[in-house]
Chains A and B, each alone.
Chain A
């Protein structure tokens, strides 16, 4: 359905590969997806790019937006001492006041500065542990004096977390927006905000959000089809809670050995065997004949058995040089895999590993340090067969209550 002036359905919280390192969706990818969803009868009029701690001043999406008959606006998501905050209508003056790349900006100043420069700040994913404002209200009774709007419906949050945000909005008389928090294209529009009237520019958007009498409401994608009813949102009391709630915010800048960045070492060699492939496939109940059925594989495109692409990520090799991160416990945060050539039984694969980068940000568990390792894999013929990047996050953990 094309844009009209009666209502505007905007996804106010979207991340793209143009500015968020944990996103997989491109801006044009989102627009293609928006077009596909419109054909299915859903209503998505546009979105606001709110990259993490990043606002590149030279981006212009107006041509793309026009080509797809959509609204594409820009804001930014910053990290404060009460969690993440979306800022719409930020000006050069705002960016001059803060280092938006920092991970613990003073929230009151952020909310006030946004308003002073003619914009507005909105508490993002309000009900999420640590990076939403609800936790900080409950634990520290932080003041909401400068807060007018929160994101009470977030597509990346659980039902329980959204109910926490909704409860806060009801008790503190805050307005609520809905947004998907998409990092990948198919997440676009899972949750949105429906505005009365036309919203076509960032000035339109800011004016609506600042106006206490403006009519807007959070909606889910399925509530945008013609004739659908916008349902009541559940409160916490109506849901069974589920949250692991861990960690603490703050701390000094992380120290690590910068000299290891980019230094590649031979990490070891793995022999690819039929037995190893079979064991991997059995654990995953993968019966793909290309991996284990010699006769069938001989008739297939590789004229013989090959290994599942994922097998290299399980190869035990030495780690790259240690940057010496002495912080919390490490978990896998991301993986990027590129495949160039098939891997066959009998191949001897050498791995060459390095640390690509180290950086930090905040998440549900508080402060997080990311270490990105890259390993390239070379077969016995000297050919690059694959490259794997693994992002490990170091974060603090806290035992679940009631346990040792």
Chain B
């Protein structure tokens, strides 16, 4: 990724409303445990086993163990950072969790430009574009949705 990523900068002038970028994610139990291990010394952040145990999850009314919200957010953050390139900057990210993300869900992570920022730039603002960001599962549900504001470099700079 090193060469590709550093060479593939996205510029404000090249972005249009409606542009889409997507990647697929398949968070397995192993991925979740690795994430928990890296961030919480292996402990469940809530003290229960909903993120790792079938039995604990079912006791709480969940079909399967769930992916921690912080990990879903991290997946969303990653699609934005991959999209914007090294000189882009996330200004803000606003995420809403509408349903659980379950272990082994097949996820389509989609970022869509909803405002290319031309009006704001004309009004003297920074070169900031707005994205809708979504995790969509294979049941057609969108368990995680949000918006991101990203400042992009300009070609003239």
Contact A301 B87 (CB under 8 A): yes
Contact B114 A186 (CB under 8 A): yes
Q: How far is the CA of A240 from the CA of B140 in the complex (A)?
A: 13
Contact A183 B40 (CB under 8 A): no
**A6: Cβ under 8 A from any B Cβ:** no
Given contacts A186-B114, A336-B92, A403-B58, are A289 and B1 in contact (CB under 8 A)? yes
**A237: Cβ under 8 A from any B Cβ:** no
Nearest to A341 among chain B residues (CB) is B89
Give B51 Cβ to nearest chain A Cβ, in Å.
Answer: 11
Chain B residues within an 8 Å CB radius of A397: 60-62
What interface size band does chain B fall in? 35 or more
Nearest to B85 among chain A residues (CB) is A301
Within B80-106, the residues touching A (CB, 8 Å) are 81-82, 86-87, 89-100
Q: How far is the CA of A314 from the CA of B74 in the complex (A)?
A: 9
Contact B140 A184 (CB under 8 A): no
**A271: Cβ under 8 A from any B Cβ:** no
Contact B6 A183 (CB under 8 A): no
- CB-contact partner of A314 in B40, B46, B89, B139, under 8 A: B40
Chain A residues within an 8 Å CB radius of B13: none
Contact B31 A288 (CB under 8 A): no
Contact A289 B90 (CB under 8 A): no
Chain A residues within an 8 Å CB radius of B97: 331-335
Q: Is the interface of B mostly helix, strand, loop or mixed?
A: mixed
Nearest to B93 among chain A residues (CB) is A337
Q: How far is the CA of A330 from the CA of B45 in the complex (A)?
A: 11
- CB-contact partner of A399 in B1, B60, B74, B115, under 8 A: B60
Contact A32 B38 (CB under 8 A): no
Q: How far is the CA of A245 from the CA of B132 in the complex (A)?
A: 28
Nearest to B46 among chain A residues (CB) is A330
**A142: Cβ under 8 A from any B Cβ:** no
Q: Mark A216-236, 1 if CB is under 8 A from B, else 0.
A: 000000000000000000000
Q: Mark A237-272, 1 if CB is under 8 A from B, else 0.
A: 000001011110000000000000000000000000
Chain B residues within an 8 Å CB radius of A156: 98, 142
- CB-contact partner of B40 in A284, A310, A316, A400, under 8 A: A316
- CB-contact partner of B147 in A32, A184, A308, under 8 A: A184
**B21: Cβ under 8 A from any A Cβ:** no
Nearest to B32 among chain A residues (CB) is A283
Chain A residues within an 8 Å CB radius of B55: 403-404
Given contacts A186-B132, A186-B134, are A36 and B18 in contact (CB under 8 A)? yes
Q: Enumerate 29 A-B pairs (CB-CB under 8 Å) in ascending A order.
A: A25-B114, A25-B132, A32-B115, A40-B18, A158-B141, A183-B96, A183-B98, A184-B147, A186-B132, A245-B61, A279-B37, A280-B74, A282-B34, A285-B31, A287-B2, A289-B1, A300-B86, A309-B90, A314-B38, A314-B40, A314-B74, A333-B96, A333-B97, A334-B95, A338-B92, A399-B59, A399-B60, A400-B58, A400-B63
